[in-house]
């Protein structure tokens, strides 16, 4: 019997027996295949490829994973790509887990997560701190490969989003949150009008200043220009940057320069202002500076925080002094986005242009993650050519040019146990070097300057250039160690403090140890010495009226030097060779004698040879000899 033909609009019905057989076959097939498919899915691998396009290394922090990670990465270098494979290892859920990585020399965690279940589609999650972005691609199917890409939120990794640079941004001062559109209380920060550039790193600083009727702590335009130029000429360059350097924008008031090329001033874009003069800005607990008074200025009505600039600008105050009794040149957290320049104890209570420029860049350098030794607080390292170093805070010297402000461009170490005096501690020999020399008598000493053109350094201050290594404490820290170098420009942090961190505008910096340059410490840094010492000779006894000596002669040599100090005085008697002078030189024996003598100072200036001719006649029968008889004297002196 055949089935009747189907009617239009109605489906053809299958016999019940046949339908039951079909369902039974389907269930039997599912029962036979599902466990095998599940087993294969649960045991499959997942390959993770992670590209770190940022300028910060990532270090493995933690994992939440029941499976097995093969070649789990411990460090993902900036600009690098790593891959690792994950095996579920029998986890009934499939391949599920998370990894987190910490930013090296920055805060926050980068997290990636994956869920490749037994049944269903694979899913992935990722998160990054403010100022960074992360995304993924791929990762579908069995034995999948997922690709995560981590990067800064701007081409130049300066912490300022490219969209902000292009369009400006609205900031809510009460929360620090950013918006693309206006709203109640929101402040517009006109970054395009301020010269922000998506193709070049930008760094913004607002400088308020103290002033009264007698003096002003406003930074000199020349000082600001020196620092702006230093950043513009920096070797800093992200791979996405079209040119080297950093655009430093310093709002120091409406009349301060916004664009150094055109001379345009900040005008109505400025929010910097004069604040009331106070002898001290803040107090200290022990040696830790407390930022409460500084924060009152920062939070004042109509002040910095009210302008909405906190996620973009560093905030600086050019003040008189810090807490009572302090003569420090300034202070700043490392890293951070707040800083103080306090030159009230320096020249004219406001500092010279060199002192202002060097201190402003020094404290800003602390904000950018630099210590007094670059990556450490070991100070006064001669080969560390940076304004972060007390030796060079008020300016480096190159030839006849002084007062140059710069961060270190080289990573050169110096071993105090094996100093090569015939080698200059610079890859380029650009800057003059300062190193410690003790006083010849008594305690103390100073840091003397040696011109780079000399291409050698008398490290142990003995007045000679040794051909073999010498040992000496050249930074006067009481120990002979390896003084590490540091490439400042290659390691500065631009995303620091409140920069790029929305929602954190009102934070007060933690108490900061006060350990900054004072006038007393600055006085130890000698200027360049280009004048050799002057040596004089005294004889005992004195010659007779004919210039003749009638006994052994003792010659005393006295040397003076106006700047760096005398390192060595030496003499050569009758061509016997140069000898170091320590005690009066005894000249004896009848006849003519020649004494050459000279001195060299700690800056390696050597005096021209001086000459002393002596004639000794010890024969008592000769005229004018002390033991001659009157008759002889009468005969010889009629």
Contact by Cβ (8 Å): 258, 271: no
**For the segment 547-584, what is each residue's pLDDT rounded down to a tens digit?**
999 999 999 999 999 999 999 999 999 999 999 999 99
Average pLDDT rounded to a whole number, residues 364-385: 96
Higher pLDDT, 145 or 7: 145
pLDDT of residue 443: 76
What was the pLDDT predicted at 262? 93
User: At 538, is the pLDDT very low, low, confident or very high (cuts 50, 70, 90)?
Assistant: very high
Of the ranges 581-595, 603-617, 621-635, which one carries the lowest mean pLDDT score?
621-635
Q: Tell the residue number behind the tokens 């004069």, with chain if given.
A: 274
Kind of pairing, strands 201-211 and 274-276? parallel
What is the structure's pLDDT at 31?
36
pLDDT at 44: 75
* Mean pLDDT, rounded, of the chain: 89
Q: Residue 23 is encoded by which pair of tokens?
A: 């369902």
Give the pLDDT of residue 506.
58
Model's pTM, two decimal places? Answer: 0.85
> With contact defined as beta carbons under 8 Å apart, do 508 and 186 qualify?
no
Q: pLDDT of 167-203, one tens digit each?
A: 999 999 988 889 999 999 999 999 999 999 999 999 9
Indicate if the pLDDT at residue 310 is higher than 80. yes
The neighbour count for residue 272, using CB atoms within 10 Å, is 25
Q: At what angle do helices 353-367 and 221-232 cross, to 10 degrees?
A: 50
The average pLDDT across 348-361 equals: 97
- Range with lowest mean pLDDT among 349-363, 424-438, 513-527, 622-636: 622-636
Q: What is the pLDDT of residue 317?
A: 98
Contact status, residue 456 vs residue 430, Cβ threshold 8 Å: no
Residue 399: pLDDT band with limits 50, 70, 90? confident
Residue at token pair 């001062």: 173
Provide mean pLDDT across the span 19-41: 37
pLDDT at 24 over 60: no
48-85 pLDDT, tens digit each: 999 999 988 999 999 999 888 888 899 999 999 999 99
Confidence of residue 105 (pLDDT cuts 50, 70, 90): confident
**Residue among 505, 509, 512, 510 at smallest CA distance from 303:** 505
Res 429: pLDDT? 74
Query: 105-114, 480-489, 606-615: which has the minimum mean pLDDT?
Result: 105-114
154 pLDDT exceeds 70?
Answer: yes
Q: What pLDDT score does 635 carry?
A: 30
What's the pLDDT score for residue 412?
92
Chain segment 462-490, per-residue pLDDT in tens: 999 999 999 999 999 999 999 999 999 99
* 8-state DSSP, 44: -
Say whether pLDDT at 503 is over 80.
no
Our measurement of the distance from residue 308's CA atom to the centroid of its chain's CA atoms, rounded to an integer in Å, reads: 28
Q: Is the pLDDT at 6 greater than 70, yes or no?
A: no
Give the pLDDT score at 190: 98
Whole-number pLDDT of residue 622: 65
pLDDT at position 448: 96
């Amino acid at each position: 019997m055949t089935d009747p033909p189907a009617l239009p609009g109605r489906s053809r019905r299958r016999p019940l027996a046949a339908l039951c057989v079909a369902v039974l076959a389907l269930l039997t097939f599912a029962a036979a295949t599902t466990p095998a498919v599940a087993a294969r899915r649960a045991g499959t691998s997942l390959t993770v490829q992670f590209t770190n396009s940022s300028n910060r290394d990532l270090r493995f922090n933690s994992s939440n994973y029941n499976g097995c990670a093969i070649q789990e990465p411990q460090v993902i270098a900036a600009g690098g790509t790593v891959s690792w494979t994950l095996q579920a290892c029998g986890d009934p859920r499939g391949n599920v887990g998370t990894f987190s990585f910490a930013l090296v020399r920055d805060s926050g965690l980068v997290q990636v997560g994956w869920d490749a279940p037994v049944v269903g589609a694979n899913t992935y999650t990722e998160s990054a701190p403010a100022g960074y972005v992360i995304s993924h691609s791929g990762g579908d199917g069995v034995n999948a490969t997922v690709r995560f890409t981590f990067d800064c939120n701007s081409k130049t990794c300066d912490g300022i989003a490219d969209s902000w640079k292009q369009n400006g941004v609205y900031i809510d001062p009460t929360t620090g949150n950013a918006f693309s559109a206006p709203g109640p209380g929101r402040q517009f920060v006109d970054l395009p009008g301020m010269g922000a550039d998506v193709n070049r790193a930008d760094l913004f600083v607002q400088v308020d200043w103290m002033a009264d009727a007698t003096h002003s702590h406003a930074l000199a335009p020349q000082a600001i220009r020196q620092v702006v130029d230093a950043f513009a000429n920096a070797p800093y360059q992200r791979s996405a940057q079209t040119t080297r350097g950093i655009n430093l924008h310093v709002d120091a008031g409406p009349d301060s320069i916004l664009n150094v090329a055109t001379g345009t001033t900040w005008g109505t874009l400025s929010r910097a202002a004069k604040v009331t003069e106070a002898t001290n800005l803040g107090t200290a607990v022990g040696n830790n500076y407390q930022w409460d008074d500084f924060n009152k200025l920062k939070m004042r009505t109509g002040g910095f925080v009210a302008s909405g600039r906190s996620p973009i600008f560093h905030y600086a105050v050019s003040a008189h002094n810090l807490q009572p009794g302090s003569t420090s040149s300034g202070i700043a957290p490392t890293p951070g986005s707040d800083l103080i320049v306090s030159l009230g104890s320096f020249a004219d209570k406001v500092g010279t242009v060199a002192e202002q420029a060097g201190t402003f860049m020094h404290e800003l350098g602390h904000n950018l993650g630099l210590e007094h030794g670059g990556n450490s607080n070991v100070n006064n390292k001669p080969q560390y050519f940076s304004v972060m170093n007390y030796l060079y805070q008020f300016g480096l010297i190159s030839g006849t040019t002084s007062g140059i402000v710069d961060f270190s461009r080289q990573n050169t170490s110096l071993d105090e146990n094996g100093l090569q005096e015939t080698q200059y501690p610079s890859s380029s020999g650009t800057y003059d070097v300062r190193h410690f020399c003790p006083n010849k008598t008594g305690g103390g000493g100073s840091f003397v300057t040696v011109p780079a053109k000399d291409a050698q350094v008398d490290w142990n201050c003995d007045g000679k250039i040794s051909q073999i290594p010498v040992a000496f404490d050249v930074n006067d820290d009481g120990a002979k160690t390896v003084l590490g170098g540091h490439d400042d420009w290659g390691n500065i942090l631009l995303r620091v403090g409140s920069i790029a961190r929305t929602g954190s505008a009102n934070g007060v910096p933690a108490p900061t140890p006060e350990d900054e340059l004072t006038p007393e410490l600055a006085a130890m840094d000698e200027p360049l010495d280009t004048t050799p010492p002057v040596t004089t000779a005294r004889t005992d006894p004195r010659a007779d009226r004919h210039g003749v000596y009638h006994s052994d002669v003792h010659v005393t040599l006295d040397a003076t030097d106006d700047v760096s100090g005398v390192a060595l005085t030496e003499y050569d008697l009758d061509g016997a060779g140069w000898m170091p002078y320590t005690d009066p030189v005894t000249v004896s024996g009848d006849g003519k004698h020649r004494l050459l003598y000279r001195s060299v100072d700690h800056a390696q200036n050597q005096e021209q040879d001086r000459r002393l001719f002596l004639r000794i006649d010890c024969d008592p029968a000769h005229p004018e000899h002390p033991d001659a008889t009157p008759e002889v004297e009468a005969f010889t002196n009629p």
